Structure 1
Amino acid sequence: MASYQQDTRMDLDQSPIETLNELRKQCPPDLQEYLNTFEDIYDRKLWHQLTIKIEEFFSIPASGPFQVPLFQHFISDWENKMNKLKLVTLGLSVVKQFEDRNQALAFLTSLVDKVDTPDTRDAYVHAVMETAYIKLMLNDFEGTKESIDKCEKILDKFDSVETVIHASFYRVAAEYYKAKANFPEFYKNALLYLACINLDDLTPVEKTNRAYDLAISALMGETIYNFGELLMHPILDDLSGTPHEWLRNLLFAYNAGDLKKFEMLSVNFIQLQFLQENIVFLRQKICLMSLIEAVFQRSSDNRTISFTSICSVTLLPPEEVEYLIMKALALKLIRGSIDQVKEEVMVTWVQPRVLDLVQIDGMRQRLQEWDENVKKTAIIVENETPELFIQ
């Protein structure tokens, strides 16, 4: 955060016009015209037009050093005439000028109080979540989580809300769960955040970092066994051409249950110590996903699978197959029953998946086979019982 200039601090007793006059002396020429316009619109009490002009002024990087005094000694005089969501948006620009996070927290806390009314719950959520982010930066995890829980309850009651509100909620929630190493919750909230924004608004570095974090959470999440949504998301392409491109390839290997490709790419784990330390879990996860893929590729009337077949697709020794199946059942990746005598498992359900193009093509082929079987059956029935088909 950049700090604002010392000489832009104003006397608390200054009037709004006196504030503008003082700032005019300090602003560069290209910004002075804005201050003249502010005074003119303020005198005419055109609050909506004044808000628009303030937003335009704040969008200019050079205005940074003047935003704090303008907000505290000019905007504060007529803020009750302003749309509260716009007030929060301007406040979030101002808070970037504070170098001290405790000062930033105090500023945002006062902003929260200004929009804490029954008619401005959307602006309130936005302000509370951004305040929670500062708390997170100050390692106040309890305060951050309390804000997340409070805002989640409010959002659940909304029929509709500006996307910027949801984006703020999911971004801060994702950062909280990242700090707590809660991979499944981070994965969910990070993807929801991306669904609320225009990816072009992120810098290339931000895109790459988010793609990296999502890839790691997908791998490390104990309950994440379907990467389809991430694999189809354009954010993942930002790993291409980077030192972490192998993570993207690894996710595709997991999604396909490709153990051979996993073994080939796992040599890169040495680059990331936490992956190397969790190699046993990661290998078990690829085995589970190879089992899911093997079940998924079978037709619904051919889902009794022998332990021997599972050995061949998971590359596990026979004595570990039953444990793998029990793990899949416990995680609710599949439903069914195990016949220990016959050494086979009958699968009645497999976890729904977001499919990639190859898997969609496989489903298309199975549907074509099913259609052909139905037609053959109809022909047999017609030949065997022609009396049923007499018009």
Structure 2
Amino acid sequence: MAGPSRDANQYLTAKQNSSPAELQQDWALLEEYHSKKLWHQLTIKLSSFVKHDELQKGRELIELYENFIQGFETKINPLALVEIVAIVIRQYEKPQDALKFLEYIESRIKNNTEAVALVKVLQGNILLQELKDAEATKVIIDDVEKILDGLDGITTVHGRYYLLASKYFQAKGHHADYYRTVLRYLGCIEVSELSATDQVQHAFLLGLAALLGEGVYNLGELLAHPVLDSLKGTSSSWVIDLLSAFNTGDIAKFEAMKPKWSAVGDLARLEVKLRQKISLLCLMEMTFKRASNKRDLKFSEISEATQLPLDNVELLVMKALAQGLVKGAIDQVDGTVHMTWVQPRVLDKQQIASMAERLDSWCTEVQSVETLLEDKGHDFLTL
């Protein structure tokens, strides 16, 4: 990039004289901090100043950078500099020019890992949203992932990285990756800070991704997430009910809600996949509800619960075993399957109540054995 076109103080004085009254004091403060070399105070002031409505038009911010900020950019905290740049690049009409500017910025902050990661995230957003270059975006995502893996804890860049990655996975139709990435993004921010529209959009798309995502069976995790509350009272509130039906393997409810979910193109198109998934969840729920010593399930019972033909039950059980959703053994002769384990999941209140009942039953059985030992223990000891 070219150096400043004129002396910084002259630029500031000219801007102060030509700006609206509400900005004149801000320009004066910038000039004062710059003259006194108060770089920290100047950085803080610039971070808020570049967001002013009056500067969000034309090339105001680009000129501010070229004529003023560039002269002392190396004295600013690198991450703070990139945060300022994130607002400046919005005024570039050509995405290629914005990318070129970001390449220049990266060369100036290359010794700060977190700042480099943020620059790459900004590049990824331009590549994906404006240039529609998915391959180049994937390279950026992989690079940033490696950078963030080397940092301690959660940084301010993590959330923006996960948001970029989720947009990429959404564009590619990778439902499971999108689901997991958005949950990580929401874990890096305060959901309440999102606009109501953004909350509803995230909740709706998360719900669809959870239903369609390969290997996503722990739906209780999403049902317990506060972002789903944003759907209550909206036209999309049915998504919560559908997720609840899947979580408990309630196939009858799934069938009853078909007029709702079939109106969504992706769900209607992948109906066979949805039916297979809810059948697997139904099998998991059947196993979960049984006491550990009463987990011999008849094929006929599974067929009735899942509404599958009897001939398809064994294949369903084999798929559940292959995906690690349950553990057990099939007895083809007797037409039964003995379950020994079911994959742990986040439970809803109804499932927790069911577990509490089984615990009460187990405690009663233990107490009965204890009483038996007290009554008959002497007989055993004197044999």
TM-score relative to the length of structure 2 = 0.94
Q: Is 1:70 equivalent to 2:64 in the alignment? A: yes
Measure how far apart 1:293 and its partner are.
0.8
Tell me, in whole angstroms, the C-alpha distance in 1 between the residues paired with 2:127 and 2:275: 37
Q: Is 1:102 equivalent to 2:96 in the alignment? A: yes
Report the equivalent of 2:119: 127
SS in 1 for 2:56: helix
Q: Deviations over 1:149-202 (max 9, x none)?
A: 11111212222242x211011111111111110011100000000011111221
AA at the equivalent of 2:109: V
Superposed, 1:189-208 pairs within 5 Å as 189-208=181-200
AA at the equivalent of 1:335: K
Report the equivalent of 2:330: 338
Query: In structure 2, which of residues 360, 367, 371 is the aligned counterpart of residue 379 of structure 1?
Result: 371
Measure how far apart 1:11 and its partner are.
8.8
Change (3 A) 1:278 1:72: same
Q: Is 1:236 equivalent to 2:233 in the alignment? A: no
Tell me, in whole angstroms, the C-alpha distance in 1 between the residues paired with 2:158 and 2:235: 32
Query: In structure 1, which of residues 60, 83, 86 is the aligned counterpart of residue 80 of structure 2?
Result: 86
Identity of aligned residues (%): 37
Report the equivalent of 1:319: 311
* Contact 2:154 2:188 (8 Å CA) reproduced: no
Query: In structure 2, which of residues 120, 134, 139 is the aligned counterpart of residue 141 of structure 1?
Result: 134
Q: Deviations over 1:300-339 (max 9, x none)?
A: 2222211111112112121111111111112211122111
Higher mean displacement: 361-370 or 174-183: 361-370
TM-score relative to the length of structure 1 = 0.92
Higher mean displacement: 153-162 or 36-45: 153-162
Q: Is 1:210 equivalent to 2:210 in the alignment? A: no
AA at the equivalent of 2:335: E
* Contact 1:177 1:185 (8 Å CA) reproduced: yes
SS in 1 for 2:340: strand
AA at the equivalent of 1:30: E
Tell me, in whole angstroms, the C-alpha distance in 1 between the residues paired with 2:154 and 2:212: 33
Higher mean displacement: 37-46 or 267-276: 267-276
Measure how far apart 1:389 and its partner are.
9.5
Tell me, in whole angstroms, the C-alpha distance in 2 between the residues paired with 1:39 and 1:198: 36
Report the equivalent of 1:173: 165
Q: Is 1:50 equivalent to 2:42 in the alignment? A: yes
Structure 2 regions of 5+ residues with no counterpart? none
Structure 1 regions of 5+ residues with no counterpart? 1-9
Aligned-CA RMSD value: 1.9
Report the equivalent of 1:155: 148
Change (3 A) 1:33 1:282: same
Change (3 A) 1:99 1:386: farther
SS in 2 for 1:271: coil
Q: Is 1:19 equivalent to 2:11 in the alignment? A: yes
* Contact 1:299 1:366 (8 Å CA) reproduced: yes
SS in 2 for 1:347: strand
* Contact 1:108 1:127 (8 Å CA) reproduced: yes
> How many residues are aligned here?
378
Higher mean displacement: 271-280 or 46-55: 271-280
Change (3 A) 1:380 1:112: same
SS in 1 for 2:257: helix
AA at the equivalent of 1:19: Y
Higher mean displacement: 355-364 or 15-24: 15-24
AA at the equivalent of 2:94: D
Report the equivalent of 1:369: 361
* Contact 1:31 1:63 (8 Å CA) reproduced: no
Measure how far apart 1:99 and its partner are.
3.6
SS in 1 for 2:290: coil
Tell me, in whole angstroms, the C-alpha distance in 1 between the residues paired with 2:11 and 2:102: 22
SS in 2 for 1:363: helix
* Contact 1:34 1:57 (8 Å CA) reproduced: yes
Report the equivalent of 1:6: none
SS in 1 for 2:235: coil
Tell me, in whole angstroms, the C-alpha distance in 2 between the residues paired with 1:13 and 1:23: 14
Measure how far apart 1:388 and its partner are.
8.5
Higher mean displacement: 284-293 or 372-381: 372-381
AA at the equivalent of 1:49: Q
Q: Is 1:258 equivalent to 2:250 in the alignment? A: yes
